[in-house]
A and B are shown apart, each in its own frame.
Chain A
Amino acid sequence: MKKIKRFLIYLFLSIAAIVSIFPFLWMLISMTNKSVDVTGGRLIPGSHFLENLRNLFATVEIGTALMNSFIIAIITTILTLLIGSLAGYGFEIYRTKGKDMIFNILLLSMMIPFAAIMIPLYRFFGQVSSVAPAIGIDTLAAAILPTIITAFFIFFFRQNTKMFAKDLVEAGRIDGLSELGIFFRIYLPTMKTTYAAAAIIAFMNSWNNYLWPLVVLQSPENQTIPLLISNLGAGYTPDYGVIMTAIVIATLPTALVFFLMQRHFVAGMMGSVKG
């Protein structure tokens, strides 16, 4: 009886695993096939990988796009972590009148869809362009600035700070550390797992961000990876082999970041803190 139960559990898990892994497998197989075979649903690896790769590099500037995506994602991630953790820490540690009300307003701002603020934001950057073209429309800075902090990360850090032993702050103060010193020397090292989890989420969000970069970045030399892939699929006769190759290349960095930080990610999401 126990064996049957075990068997059923494993059967269910195996099916679930196949269902989740299959799209990735198909992506990897399609990368090696001709476009006609991809649309035909061919499940056997083919011999067109090098040709697809050559075509990809011949038709689009994938190197530039990767570079742009990296610059945007890395800067966004660093700023998100810094600002988000400072704000979350502040909200939890310090006592101020009206703190919770401000926090609630912040949380409600999570409900405003980006599409609703996109047009005023574009108008704003249009005006910025006339004064400071270096951070105006069609610059990487314009793609980064509106995305560096969202209420979600402040909330995330505040929730995790609840687990942080507040005695450490008192101890730091008694030992004569400045408030920033306490944050950087005591808080930051003990909250590594939270930072790791937030880093993964921030990096992935930024890497996959589509709508705002699409609207604000115009020149090909500022293009990011999701925009490039969208363009590849836009032809009347798209080459699906090439598209799959580009998607695999675009997936690698996020996969890498995730696997490197996977352990911290799980720990961080569970909210456990060693300290």
Chain B
Amino acid sequence: MGKKIWLFIVVLLTTFLLAACGGGNSEESSSGDASETTADGATKIVAWAWDPNFNIAALNLASENYNGDTEIELEVIENAQDDIVQKLNTGLSSGTMKGMPNLVLIEDQRAQSFLQSYPDAFYPIGDYFNPEDFADYKLAPTSLEGEQYGLPFDTGATGFFYRTDYLEEAGYTHDDLVDLTWAEFVEIAKDVKEQTGHAMLALDPNDLGILRIMMQTTGTWYTTEDGTINLADNEPLKRALEHYKELMDNDLVKLVSDWSQYLAAFNSGDVASVPAGNWIAPSIEAEESQSGLWAVAPIPRLDMEGAVNASNHGGSSWYVLNIDGKEAAAEFLGNTFGSNVDFYQSLLTDVGAIGTYIPASEGDAYQFENEFFGGQKVIYDISQWMEEIPQVDYGMNTYGIEDIISAELQQYLNGKSLEDMLADAQAQAEAQFK
């Protein structure tokens, strides 16, 4: 018996040592080998991104539009977003920059955890473009301690996408749906259920995007600007949770368990609306038979002082890693995503990506009247709402805190009081992310 315990301790120690070696010595980060010069003298830039129809298409288009001084050859490597997070975390925490790309796309809500965890891994690129040309709300997540590290890319500006036929049947016109509060949204949802029998929206209980959308209309988040966890006394979050519970209790939600079911809920005509980031539009348009039956209104706001009818859901930005080739990579970004208005027009018409570069929204492509949405200038409307989005600091632990809220939320729905629920969540989050 004693022998076995002894063995067990040896193995535990070995595991600990092995795991510990990985963390240390990061100061000795050798320069990476991602960039090299090709035969014809061009600097080779490697980029990691996800979604071939969107982000990668955008990169390739940028490569075609690039006209800077340094000759650049861009190689885009496609990986799923979670895979990129995994690869970056492994590579950066191992301390060797081997195999790391020059350019990488990071979701805004994750950016701070990378910037703060790996301080020397990213290259500040504020000198290569003018950050003030970009939507305000994109700057806090992409910068750290006054240095601009990310070049803002797509907007997650939200819209309240709805079925005109269902809402009309319930007695609402477009004008009734503009500039709503979430309280009014819930009342409308009740009417829609009563008149048409359809649920107002689909929700995945594991994805609390809708809470973030509601909260950001007031410019608040799970954490404050100095990183303090802000759940127990977070008035906007309380309101958002109350609306969430009311939607659930009145059976106004179609529950789904994954992304494909979420898409199916509106493609099949089961739900009357989709309050989400504008990137959901192509998925709505995928069901061609519903052409002309959709429209989009500004996202409802929380009924509070200072709340606006604009919010954000997702969106990412480009980052340059601090390895050989960083200047060329930064120049590439500055020359394309950072300043080229014409490039943004083709980005919109060819790729369907709405950037956060404000001067671009005056271009022709933004005036496109979308027949699927009954001739509405969807892009133009969204770009207008985008400028209003309140800026928040997403902090380090958005998804970690959300896991805690997710678990507590079920107890709240089962009757636990809101104060208790948030106090418990606050205590848990503080214990976990000190």
Q: Which residues from chain A sit less than 8 Å from chain B, CB to CB?
A: 35-36, 38-41, 59, 101, 104-105, 108-109, 111-112, 116-120, 122-123, 125-127, 129-130, 136-138, 211, 214-216, 218-220, 227, 230-231, 233-238, 240
Q: Tell me the residues in window 246-260 of chain B with beta carbons closer than 8 Å to chain A beta carbons.
A: 259-260
The reply to whether B51 and A236 form a contact with Cβ atoms under 8 Å apart is yes
Confirm or deny: B417 has a beta carbon within 8 angstroms of a beta carbon on chain A: no
Residue on B with the closest CB to A240?
A: B260
* Cross-chain contact of B7 among A41, A101, A138, A230 (Cβ < 8 A): A101
B33 interface hit (Cβ, 8 Å): yes
Distance between Cα atoms of A139 and B51 in the complex (Å): 24
Contacts of B113 in A (CB 8 A): none
| Interface residue total, chain B, C-beta cutoff 8 A | 50
- Kindly list chain B residues whose C-beta atoms are within 8 Å of the C-beta of A237: 53, 263, 282-283, 286
Q: Cα distance A234–B263 when bound, in Å?
A: 14
Residues of chain B contacted by A238 (CB below 8 angstroms): 259-260
Q: Are A234 and B11 in contact (CB-based, < 8 A)?
A: no
Given A137-B99, A138-B99, A227-B83: A120 and B53 within 8 A (CB)?
no
Bound Cα distance A130, B261 (Å)? 47
Pairwise interchain contact A214-B87, C-beta atoms closer than 8 A: yes
Contact B53 A38 (CB under 8 A): no
Other than the given A108-B11, A236-B280, 12 more pairs (CB < 8 A) read A39-B264, A101-B3, A108-B8, A109-B11, A116-B15, A137-B99, A214-B83, A234-B81, A235-B50, A236-B51, A236-B53, A237-B282
A33 to chain B, nearest CB (A): 12
Nearest B-chain residue to A234, judged by Cβ: B80
In the docked arrangement, what's the CA distance between A103 and B18, Å?
20
Residue of A nearest to B79 (CB): A231
Main secondary structure of the interface of A (DSSP, over half): helix
Task: Tell me if B126 is interfacial: C-beta within 8 Å of chain A.
Answer: no
| A123/B8 contact (C-beta < 8 A), A214-B83, A227-B83, A235-B52 known | no
Q: A231-B80, A235-B50, A237-B283 are in contact. Are A120 and B30 (CB under 8 A)?
A: no
Question: A36 with B267: in contact, given A215-B90, A220-B77, A234-B50 (CB under 8 Å)?
Answer: yes
Which of A112, A116, A236 has most chain B Cβ within 10 Å? A236
Top 8 closest pairs, chain A to chain B, by CB: A126-B96, A119-B22, A234-B80, A39-B264, A123-B94, A126-B98, A137-B99, A235-B51
Q: Which residue of B lies closest to A108 (CB)?
A: B11
Q: Determine if B374 is an interface residue (Cβ-Cβ < 8 Å).
A: no
Q: Do A116 and B19 touch across chains, with their CB atoms under 8 A apart?
A: yes
- A1 CB, nearest partner CB in chain B, Å: 43
B22 surroundings in chain A (CB, below 8 A): 118-120, 122-123
Complex contact B279–A236 (CB within 8 A): yes
* CB of B416 to closest CB in A, whole Å: 34
Write out the residue numbers on chain A whose beta carbons fall within 8 Å of the beta carbon of B264. 39-41
Kindly state the separation between the CA atoms of A112 and B286 in the bound complex, as whole angstroms.
46
Closest to B261 in A: A39
Separation in Å of the B328 CB from the closest CB of chain A? 19
15 sample A-B contacts, Cβ–Cβ < 8 Å, listed by A number: A105-B7, A109-B11, A120-B22, A122-B22, A123-B22, A130-B30, A138-B99, A214-B79, A220-B78, A231-B80, A231-B83, A234-B78, A234-B80, A236-B282, A237-B263
Please report B residues at the A interface, Cβ cutoff 8 Å. 3-4, 7-8, 10-11, 15, 18-19, 21-23, 30, 33, 46, 50-54, 77-81, 83, 86-87, 90-91, 93-96, 98-99, 101, 259-261, 263-264, 267-268, 279-280, 282-283, 286-287
Smallest Cβ-Cβ distance to B267: which chain A residue: A36
| Residues of chain A contacted by B79 (CB below 8 angstroms) | 214, 227, 230-231, 234
A126 touches B99 (CB 8 A): yes
Nearest-neighbour CB distance to chain B for A235, whole angstroms, equals: 4
Select B94's contact among A126, A218, A219, beta carbons within 8 Å.
A126
Residues of B within 8 A of A122 (CB): 22, 90-91, 94, 96
Query: Which residue of chain A lies nearest to B84 when distances are taken between CB atoms in the complex?
Result: A234
Q: How far is the CB of B103 from chain A (nearest CB, A)?
A: 13
Q: Pick the contact of A136: B4, B18, B87, B98 (CB < 8 A).
A: B98
CA distance A38 to B286 in the complex (A): 13
Q: How far is the CA of A258 from the CA of B376 in the complex (A)?
A: 55
For A108, the chain B residues whose CB sits under 8 A away are 7-8, 11
Smallest CB separation, B101 vs chain A (Å): 8
Q: Which one of B33, B53, B280 lies within 8 Å of A129 (CB-CB)?
A: B33
Q: Do B52 and A230 touch across chains, with their CB atoms under 8 A apart? A: no
Q: In the complex, which residues of chain A have a beta carbon less than 8 angstroms from the beta carbon of B3? A: 101
Asked if B91 and A59 make an inter-chain contact with CB atoms under 8 angstroms apart, the answer reads no
Question: In the complex, which of the residues B50, B91, B93, B98 has the most CB atoms of chain A within 10 Å of its own CB atom?
Answer: B98
User: Once bound together, how far apart are the Cα atoms of A105 and B11, in whole Å?
Assistant: 7
Known contacts A39-B260, A214-B87: does B11 contact A119 (CB below 8 Å)? no
Q: Roughly how many angstroms separate A120 CA and B267 CA in the complex, as a whole number?
A: 46
Contacts of B10 in A (CB 8 A): 105
CA distance A265 to B217 in the complex (A): 60
Q: Do residues B11 and A112 form an inter-chain contact, with CB atoms below 8 A? A: yes
Closest beta carbon of chain B to A120's beta carbon, Å: 4
Separation of A112 and B19 alpha carbons in the complex (Å): 10
How far, in angstroms, from A138 to B279 measured CA to CA in the complex?
Answer: 33
Q: Find chain B residues with CB under 8 A from A118 CB.
A: 22, 90
Known A-B contacts A41-B264, A117-B19, A237-B53; the reply to A123 vs B96 at CB < 8 A is: yes
Q: In the complex, A120→B93 CA distance in Å?
A: 9
Q: Is the CB of A59 within 8 A of B52?
A: yes
A104–B268 alpha-carbon span in the complex (Å): 57
Q: How far, in Å, is B11 (CB) from chain A's closest CB?
A: 4
Contact B78 A104 (CB under 8 A): no
Contacts of B78 in A (CB 8 A): 220, 231, 234
List of B residues within 8 angstroms of A137 by Cβ: 98-99
Minimum CB distance partner of B154 in chain A: A236
Residues of A within 8 A of B95 (CB): 123
> Do A235 and B53 have beta carbons less than 8 Å apart?
yes
Task: Give the Cβ gap from B106 to chain A, nearest Cβ, in Å.
Answer: 14
Partner of B286, one of A36, A59, A104: A36
A40: chain B residues within 8 A (beta carbon): 264, 267-268
Cβ–Cβ < 8 Å partners of A112 in chain B: 11, 15, 18
Query: Which of B53, B77, B90, B286 is most buried by chain A, counting CB atoms within 10 A of its CB?
Result: B90
Residues of A within 8 A of B11 (CB): 105, 108-109, 111-112
User: Which residue of chain B has its CB nearest to the CB of A230?
Assistant: B80
